Every structure is written in C-alpha cells, then in structure tokens.
Amino acid sequence: MKIGYPATLMYYSHFPLWKSFLNALGHEVIISPKTSKNILESGIKDTVTDACIPIKILHGHVSALVGKVDFILIPRMVSIVKYETFCPKFLGLPEMVKYSIENVPKILSPKVELKYGFWQIYKVLNSLGKQLGATKKELFTAIFTAMKTQSRYEKLLLSGFFPEEAMDIIEGSNIPKIKDISKSINLAVLGYPYQVYDSYITVNMLENLKKMGVNIFTCEMVPYSEQKKYRKVLPKELFWYYSNIVMRCTYHYLKSKQTDGIVHVTAFACGPDAMLDKLMELECKSHNIPYLNITIDEHTGEAGILTRLEAFADMLKIRRDL
C-alpha cells in the first residue's frame, strides 16, 4: 500500500523510524513535497484562523498527498518522557485534519505515549503493524530494523548533520563530509525542529548563515545525557516536551565557551514559545551572551530576516575581535 507522510512537524525527529518500519513491512512511503507557497496557502485555507504556522503548514502538506496515497500517517504525539507532553494541537492533529480537508484518505494515528519508558515504542509499532495486517515474524524484523535506523539517524544529528543531510546519508544518496568548525562565528540556532529546519518558513535562514561564515549548532546536536544535567536549573520545569529541550540546550550552549550568540526561532501565535522566549532572553542577558529572536509566520519576508541576521553576525564578529 502507499502510505503518505507529511514532511513537517515530527518529520524532522522521527521520520526515519516510521519509514524504515513501513518499508520493512512492504509498504511504499510517500512524503509530501517541501514546503512552498502553494502548500502554505492551502494550509491557511483549511485551518482555523488562530492556528500557528506549523499547524497551517501541516494541513497544506496533507492536502498535497490527497489522491496520491491509500493512507496518511499522522502519529498522535502525547509524550516522549514522563511529566512532559506536546502541544494540544499535536494531540488533536488527526481529528483536525480529518474534519478540515476534503477527500482526505484514511488516517493512521498510532498513539505515541512513552512516559512509562521508551520501550513502549515497541507496543506502538506492533499495534500499527497489526492494523496493516503484518504477521508476528514480519513485525519482529520491521521493529528491529526501524529502531536501528532511528538510532543511526540520531547519531548523525549529534555529529552535526542537519535532518535532511542525515536522511540522505541513510538512503545512501550522500557521502558524509567532515563538518567545518573553523568558521569565525559559532551560533546556536535553537527552536522546535519543524521551525528551524523548514527552509521555506525560515526563508533560507540556515543557508544564509552559512554564507555569512557562521558555524551553526542546534538542539539536535546536544546529547540527551547532556540535556539532563540542566533539568533542575529552573525552579519549575516547563510543561512542554520541545520547550524543555530548547531551554536545556540554551543552558548547554551558554556554558560552552565557544558559543558567540544564540538565535531563537519562534512561531507567531505559539503559546509555549511566548514564555520560553522570555526565559531564554533573560538567561542570555545574565550570561552576557548576545541573543536574537526570529519570529516567523505566513508573512515573513527574506529581506527583513536577512538584514537582522547580517547585523547580528557583524556585531558578533566585532565583539569577538575586541
């Protein structure tokens, strides 16, 4: 069967797991095209007005798959670790899509709730496989293959590759290259992965920073064992999974003597980001590390973002030379 997967939101975190699992069961996985003006406009048309841009884009990606696949996979992300959850819009995504987009194929929405241990992913994959008619033997092989692929993917991210680069390496269409860490500025670009790595909504921010001679670090390059060291820094942890990751990685890079500045990529109308952004700003100020907030929405223009990034990078170079 042909199973579609929207190339946004959890795509940047867990797509290799799902693709490897479904391929091992003999299904073809079709991803939506990269975010574009048409996809964004389609998503805006189908979503409620107060939705943030990542949710609008998700709807656009699903619309791009209509008529091309038998099923669409939209995991219901509840939790990855104990005491942390995802945005309510993540929890209700399958229903939001089902009742907003016309002629949408049947949605596969396995419930991912791993607060009692990551081993529960086996239950999730086993349940999805049975829904697709797989045998026990097929499931055993597929789950093992999927976990191995995801582990390799995460190791590539930790070594400094961006998600698309890591996926290309796994597919064998790209040869690993040694990352250049000799550039003049080391900049931590932090935020939720579906915002940081989507080149359309960030108007090519990462590529533009590379052209400026900036060495980029992200949350995906910080091991979880390192993130855990900063769980008790705040008097009370945040409620949201991705927000906690960004905050812990902020502390990690603030402690790093190589970090020249921090950029926070945030989406307009994102509730958790409103609190997270202020906390990051205050922590950067207390550590005397320059901080820049980049807020994105459907009206974001490349010229405005590029001007701010160029000014920030120039300021960091001057500051470093003093």
Euclidean distance between the first and the last CA atom of the chain, given in angstroms as a whole number = 61
Strand partners, 21: none
User: What's the 3-state SS for 236-277?
Assistant: CCCCEHHHHHHHHHHHHHHHCCCCCEEEEEEECCCHHHHHHH
Listed in sequence order, the residues at least 6 apart from 222 whose beta carbon sits closer than 8 Å to its beta carbon are 158, 248, 249, 252, 253
Q: Which pTM value belongs to this model?
A: 0.90
Which band of pLDDT confidence, cut at 50, 70 and 90, is reported for residue 182?
Answer: low
pLDDT in tens, 124-145: 999 999 999 999 999 999 999 9
Which one, of 131, 137, 43, lies nearest residue 93 by Cα? 43
Strands (E), the chain: 2-5, 28-31, 71-73, 76-79, 106-108, 111-113, 185-190, 214-217, 261-267, 291-296
* Cross-sheet strand order for the sheet of 71-73: 28-31, 2-5, 71-73, 106-108
pLDDT in tens, 83-125: 888 888 888 899 999 999 999 999 999 999 887 776 788 999 9
Asked if residues 126 and 136 have their Cβ atoms less than 8 Å apart, the reply is no
Q: Whole-angstrom Cα distance, residue 60 to residue 38? A: 8
Residue predicted with more confidence, 176 or 84 = 84
Mean per-residue pLDDT of the chain: 89
Long-range contacts of 80-83 (CB under 8 A, 24+ apart): 80/112, 80/114, 80/115, 80/118, 80/241, 81/114, 81/115, 81/241, 82/115, 82/116, 83/115, 83/237
- What the block records as the tokens of 141 is 């092989």
pLDDT in tens, 220-247: 999 999 999 998 888 888 888 999 999 9
Domains annotated for the chain, with CATH where assigned, are: 2-171 (no CATH), 185-321 (3.40.50.11900)
* Cross-sheet strand order for the sheet of 261-267: 214-217, 185-190, 261-267, 291-296
Q: What percent of the chain has pLDDT over 70?
A: 96
Q: Whole-angstrom Cα distance, residue 231 to residue 185? A: 28
Which one, of 7, 20, 21, lies nearest residue 72 by Cα? 7
